Amino acid sequence: MTETPDPRPSGATPEHQHEPTRDLGPIWETEPQGQPAYAAPPPRRRRGAGLAAAVLATSVLAGGAAGVGGAAAWQEWGPEPTSATTTSSGTASASPVLDAAPAPAATDGSVQAAAEAVLPSVVKINVSGSGGSGSGSGVVLTEDGQILTNHHVVEVAEEGGTITVDFADGSHARAEILGLDPLTDTALIQAQDVSGLTPASIGSSSALAVGQDVVAIGSPFGLDATVTSGIVSALDRPVDVGTDSEGNATVYPAVQTDAAINPGNSGGPLVDLAGRVVGINSSIRTTGSSSPFGQTSEGGSIGLGFAIPIDEIMPIVEQMAAGEAPTHARLGISVSDVGVDVGSGGSGSGPGSSSTEGALVVDGAQVRTVGAGSTAGEAGLQEGDIITGIDDRAITSADSLVATIRSYRPGDEVTVTFERDGEEQTTTLVLDSDADQS
C-alpha cells in the first residue's frame, strides 16, 4: 500500500474516498494556478448575518487581496458609520492615544520562546526543474549552509533543476543537493557562498510524550516563517507515503501532531517548547472541501499532520554530509497485512490467517518470503509466521513492521515476537543493512 508524494498540485480527495493507501496527502504541493482575484462586491443594501457568515467562511486562498475584501465586507454589512470624528460643538476630536509599549518578553517554555529560538534557522526553499516548480521549507544545520529538508521537496531539481533558499534575514542563495534518501523522505542541501548562519538546536524524538506541546514552523502555501502550535497526538504512527524506483516503501514511524501543517510546510521543523528540533514535517491527511460559490479548494490542515522523528533522520544526514550513500536496517523478508476472513466468504485465508464463525481480524505482519542468507532466515523465521512485536513495540500491520525496523540502524540487535500455528515464539537477531544487497 503506497501513496507517492507529488510536488505538483494534487486534487482534493472527497471525504470517505480513500487513496491507494492511508489517504495521506503530500505536504508539499504547488499552489493552484489561475485562482481568480478577489474583487470587492458592488455597493448594495445591508443584508442579514447569514450572508456575512458565508463571506467570512470563504478560504483565504480565494485571492491575494484579503485585506481589501475584508474591508469591503465590513463596510457593507457592518454597523452604520457614526460621526465619531466631531464633537457636539462641531470641532474635531483629539486623536486616539496609541499604546507603544513593547510586547512582553517571551517566557521560557512558551510557544513564543520556542519560535524566537528556531525562526532564524528556518528557510523557505524554492525549486524548479523539468517536472515543475514549487516551494517547501528547510532547517539550517551548520553555519556554512547545510540545510535539512524532505526528499520530495527537492527531487524535482535532481536532474539539472535549480534550488534557491530564502533566509530569515531576507537574504537569498543558490543551493545544490548533497544527498537524497527517498526511503526516509530526507534530503540535505548546501547553500552557496554563505556563512554565519544560525544552526538549529537538535533535540531527541525518543523523549517525546503524547500530549506534549510542540511548534511547527515553515512556509505553508509560500507564507514563509509561519508558526503554528499544537500537541503530540500520537507516536510511532506508521505512515506510508510512496515507493522508490526499486519498489521500496517510504514508511516511517511518524510523530503525529495537530499543529496546523499545510502544503509548503514540508521540510520545516517540529520543535519542542525548548526550541529543539524533534521532527521534520513531511505529510498530512487532507479532505476535500468546497467554497460557498461551488468551487473545490485544495485540501489543507484538518489537524492530522505527521513529522519524521529526528532520531531516525540524523544518522542518515551524517552519512549524506560525509558523501556516503544512506543505509537502512532490514530483516530480509517480504511481508503483508494479515488476512481478514469473514465467514466462508472472506479473503485472506492464506498461511497465518484463521477464521471462526463471524469475523476475525488478526493484527501483525505476515511473512510472505524469506531472503536466502537473511538475518530473519538465520534466526528461524518462516513463510506464514505472523510478526506481532519488535522489542517492546507492538506490530499491527506490514507498514507497522517496516516503520519500526526503519527506526533502528544496521547492526542493532532486536527481539522478534511472532506466532506460528497459534503459538507465540520469540527470537533474537542482528539487523541486516541494505548496503549488503547485491
pLDDT at 422: 87
Q: How far out from the chain centre does Cα 5 lie? A: 10
280's enclosing H/E stretch is: strand 276-285
DSSP line for 167-182: -TTS-EEEEEEEEEET
- CA–CA distances in Å: residue 422 to residues 57, 354, 425: 55, 9, 10
Instruction: Tell me the per-residue pLDDT of 398-438, one tens digit each, with 9 for 90 and over.
Output: 999 999 999 999 999 999 999 999 899 999 999 999 887 64
Q: Which residue in the list 6, 185, 341, 432 is annotated as catalytic? A: 185
Question: Which residues, including other chains, have CB under 8 Å from residue 436's CB and lie 6 or more apart?
Answer: none
284's enclosing H/E stretch is: strand 276-285
pLDDT at 98: 66
pTM of the predicted structure, to 2 decimals: 0.70
Distance CA 208, CA 416 (A): 24
Q: How far out from the chain centre does Cα 56 lie? A: 28
Instruction: Tell me the per-residue pLDDT of 127-160, one tens digit each, with 9 for 90 and over.
Output: 999 888 899 999 999 999 999 999 999 999 988 8
Instruction: Tell me the per-residue pLDDT of 76-115, one tens digit each, with 9 for 90 and over.
Output: 333 444 444 444 444 555 566 666 677 778 788 899 999 9
Distance CA 402, CA 252 (A): 8
CB 24 within 8 A of CB 241: yes
Q: What is the mean pLDDT of the chain?
A: 76
Q: Which residue in the list 152, 205, 258, 272 is annotated as catalytic? A: 152
Q: Which residue in the list 229, 266, 282, 407 is annotated as catalytic? A: 266
State the pLDDT confidence band at 247, using cuts at 50, 70 and 90: low
Q: How far out from the chain centre does Cα 334 lie? A: 26
Question: Which residues, including other chains, have CB under 8 Å from residue 255's CB and lie 6 or more apart?
Answer: 205, 208, 214, 232, 234, 235, 237, 270, 278, 279, 306, 307, 308, 309
- CA–CA distances in Å: residue 145 to residues 17, 129, 268, 388: 42, 22, 15, 43
Helix/strand/coil percentages in the chain, nearest 5:
20, 35, 50
Distance CA 119, CA 131 (A): 30
Which range among 118-122, 221-225, 386-390 shows the weakest confidence by mean pLDDT? Answer: 221-225
State the pLDDT confidence band at 244, using cuts at 50, 70 and 90: low
Question: Which residues, including other chains, have CB under 8 Å from residue 278's CB and lie 6 or more apart?
Answer: 203, 204, 205, 207, 208, 214, 255, 270, 271, 272, 307, 309, 310
Q: Is 266 a catalytic residue?
A: yes
- CA–CA distances in Å: residue 435 to residues 134, 242, 253, 330, 333: 32, 21, 21, 10, 15
Q: Is 233 a catalytic residue?
A: no
Query: What is the percent of the chain where pLDDT is above 90?
Result: 55
Measured from the Cβ of residue 20, the count of other Cβ atoms closer than 10 Å reads: 10
Q: Is 213 a catalytic residue?
A: no
**Pairing between strand 276-285 and 201-202?**
parallel
Highest mean pLDDT among 80-89, 245-254, 292-301, 426-435: 426-435
pLDDT at residue 209 is higher than 60: yes
pLDDT at residue 367 is higher than 90: yes
Which range among 8-12, 182-186, 358-362, 365-369 shows the weakest confidence by mean pLDDT? Answer: 8-12
